[in-house]
Structure formats: structure tokens, C-alpha cells
């Protein structure tokens, strides 16, 4: 499965925004919580899971949306299922490494 991503340099930090292909462009809602999976933030390039894992090793901040994308981060030890927020049934995980 393809993952959409963008990276952003923010001073000493590298922000990785990545999402599963099928959630790109959608607005996820669950009660008062709303997450827009905007193309302008998440899209730009596509990679497979191995490429995503390489990007996760180099970023200091990550904003991840979707089952495949979040699962890859958890498999690498970046968080656990307890850290995942589900919005409209879709996993969302934010990572900050210090």
C-alpha cells in the first residue's frame, strides 16, 4: 500500500506528515474532534512501507494517519496501541522524539 508523505524542516526538527492513501483528502470526525487529512500537508510524495520506516528513523516529529502508516510506526517501537487516537475509526498517532 502506498503512503503519502511530506517532510518539513523546522529548525533542528524534521517533521514527517504521512497518511494512508485512502484517507488523503478526507475529514475525520468523532464528536468534538475533527481532523482534516489535507493534501497540502500530507501529500506530495508516495512511498511504500519500507520507505516510510526509513523516514521514521530520520524524523524528530511525526504526524501519522491510517492503519498501515500507524502500524509501521508501532512496529518500529514509536509508541504503542495505547498511544493511538482513533478518529472516525481511523488511527492517528503523533510522535515527538527528544
- On the question of pLDDT at 98 being above 90, the answer is no
The whole model's pTM is what? 0.94
- On the question of pLDDT at 17 being above 90, the answer is yes
Find the helix or strand (DSSP H, E) in which 50 lies.
Answer: helix 49-58
Average pLDDT in the chain? 95
Place 2 in a pLDDT band, splitting at 50, 70 and 90: confident
- On the question of pLDDT at 1 being above 80, the answer is no
53 lies in which domain range?
Answer: 3-96
pLDDT tens figures, 48-95: 999 999 999 999 999 999 999 999 999 999 989 999 999 999 999 999
Q: How many domains does the chain have?
A: 1
- CA–chain centroid gap for 13, Å, is 16
Q: What is the pLDDT of residue 77?
A: 94
Q: 16: domain CATH number? A: 3.30.1860.10
CA dist 12 and 76 (Å) reads 22
Q: Which DSSP category does 89 fall into?
A: T
Amino acid at each position: 500500500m502506498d503512503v503519502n508523505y511530506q517532510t518539513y524542516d523546522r529548525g533542528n526538527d524534521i517533521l514527517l506528515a504521512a497518511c494512508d492513501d485512502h484517507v488523503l483528502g478526507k475529514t475525520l470526525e468523532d464528536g468534538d474532534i475533527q481532523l482534516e487529512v489535507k493534501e497540502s500537508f500530507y501529500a506530495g510524495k508516495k512511498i511504500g512501507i519500507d520507505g516510510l520506516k526509513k523516514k521514521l528513523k530520520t524524523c524528530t516529529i511525526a504526524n501519522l494517519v491510517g492503519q498501515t502508516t500507524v502500524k509501521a510506526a508501532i512496529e518500529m517501537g514509536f509508541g504503542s496501541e495505547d498511544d493511538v487516537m482513533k478518529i472516525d475509526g481511523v488511527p492517528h498517532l503523533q510522535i515527538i522524539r527528544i
